[in-house]
């Protein structure tokens, strides 16, 4: 009897596997999506439960979607390169990771340029995504949508950050992003680029004293285990972007692109809501885990913005102020 049961289980498993394999092989197109974050992150949830599900259902299996979280396909930078050269079809990345491709994109990371998420959403929906896609054409990259990652905030073990003087000499991890590094130098900190995959260990071992990220990343990355203070500085707004190789996208049949474009808009809206809800809930959860949270007033943020003036001046001198004026007009 045990042998019979074992045989039936083997047959069942084989049947299920071959059925899945036939379904995958039946797809005319496969979208492999690179994502650096974990399955608990709102971006993954939106991609998996909305984009993947609807694309596969509404295209009746013509398109298969495979999502690779936890940096299985490399860092954001590696994923962007993969999309550009065609080794992967899509990547869900933090918008800041695009900055090395063209300095004009730095406008998205100017400190405090977006006052609210709603203003940022309008800017990307009304003109920034379209303008950035023109800039990215030489790299054969297309931004399918810009959704929410959120405002970047500072955690550390020294104390609350309310004014620039509180950052004096603080060794803070930043992205490998010259604009971020320059901004934190102006704020008085000691910025130290560290790969995200190494950040938790760097904080744990004291290689760096602090870090800055959106709330959802701080929470899902479990930085509360190695950081005591969270200051809601909101110094830079970071969108999450879904990228595709432009020539690959344009090679898809028009009916598929039309169908998928509708799903993309829905995924964008759902992702924004999930992340904003996650960010709100995460702040309260972080408090229960022992994190001391402090907010900044408008006057507090203005002191940082005043110090960031050279960053704005440098950008305007090179690329003009048209983007900045259009963003400010949304306020």
DSSP per residue, 205-271:
HTS-SEEEEEHHHHHHTTGGGT--EEEEEEEEEEEEEEEEEHHHHHHS-HHHHHHHHHHHHHHHHHH
Reported confidence tier of residue 188, pLDDT bands at 50, 70, 90: very high
Q: Is the per-residue pLDDT at 6 higher than 80?
A: no
Q: Is the per-residue pLDDT at 114 higher than 50?
A: yes
pLDDT, position 15 = 43
Q: Is the per-residue pLDDT at 50 higher than 70?
A: yes
Q: Is the per-residue pLDDT at 77 higher than 70?
A: yes
Q: What is the pTM of this model?
A: 0.88
pLDDT, position 186 = 97
Other CB atoms within a 10 A radius of the CB of residue 275 amount to 25
Q: Name the CATH code of domain 25-328 (choices 3.40.50.11740, 3.40.710.10, 3.40.190.170, 3.40.50.2020).
A: 3.40.190.170
Tell which phi-psi region holds residue 300, choosing left (phi > 0), alpha (psi between -120 and 50) or beta. Answer: alpha
For 285-300, what is the mean pLDDT?
95
| CB proximity list for 41: less than 8 A, separation 6 or greater | 35, 69, 216, 217, 220, 278
Tens-digit pLDDT profile for residues 220-279: 889 999 999 999 999 999 999 999 999 999 999 999 999 999 999 999 999 999 999 999
pLDDT, position 25 = 55
Considering the chain, what is the average pLDDT of its residues? 92
pLDDT, position 195 = 86
C-alpha to C-alpha distance for 295 and 154, rounded to whole angstroms: 11
pLDDT, position 88 = 97
pLDDT, position 176 = 85
Where are the chain's structural domains? 25-328
Nearest to 150 by CA among 240, 253, 225: 240
Q: Is the per-residue pLDDT at 1 higher than 90?
A: no
C-alpha to C-alpha distance for 88 and 284, rounded to whole angstroms: 37
pLDDT, position 331 = 80
């Amino acid at each position: 009897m045990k042998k019979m049961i074992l045989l039936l289980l083997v047959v069942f498993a084989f049947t299920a596997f071959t059925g899945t394999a036939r379904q995958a092989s039946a797809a005319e197109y496969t979208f492999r999506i690179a994502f650096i974050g974990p399955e608990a992150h709102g971006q993954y949830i939106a991609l998996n439960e909305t984009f993947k599900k609807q694309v596969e259902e509404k295209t009746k299996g013509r398109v298969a979607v495979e999502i690779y979280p936890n940096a299985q396909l490399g860092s954001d930078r590696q994923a962007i390169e993969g999309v550009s050269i065609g080794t992967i079809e899509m990547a869900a990345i933090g918008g800041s990771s695009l900055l090395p491709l063209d300095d004009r994109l730095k406008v998205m990371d100017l400190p405090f340029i977006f006052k609210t998420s709603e203003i940022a959403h309008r800017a990307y929906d009304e003109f920034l995504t379209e303008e950035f896609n023109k800039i990215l054409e030489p790299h054969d990259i297309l931004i399918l949508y810009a959704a929410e990652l959120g405002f970047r905030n500072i955690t550390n073990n020294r104390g609350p950050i309310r004014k620039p003087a509180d950052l004096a000499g603080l060794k803070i991890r930043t992205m490998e992003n010259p604009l971020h590094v320059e901004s934190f130098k102006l704020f008085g900190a000691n910025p130290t680029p560290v790969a995200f995959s190494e950040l938790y260990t760097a904080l744990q071992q004291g290689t760096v004293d602090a870090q800055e990220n959106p709330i959802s990343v701080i929470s899902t990355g479990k930085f509360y285990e190695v950081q005591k203070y969270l200051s809601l500085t909101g110094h830079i707004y970071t969108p999450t972007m879904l990228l595709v190789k432009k020539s690959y996208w344009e090679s898809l049949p028009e009916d598929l692109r039309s169908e998928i474009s509708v799903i993309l808009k829905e995924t964008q809206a759902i992702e924004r809501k999930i992340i904003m809800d996650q960010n709100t809930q995460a702040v309260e959860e972080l408090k229960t885990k022992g994190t001391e949270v402090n907010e900044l007033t408008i006057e507090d943020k203005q002191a940082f913005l005043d110090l960031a003036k050279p960053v704005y001046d440098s950008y305007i001198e090179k690329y003009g102020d048209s983007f900045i004026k259009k963003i400010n007009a949304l306020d």
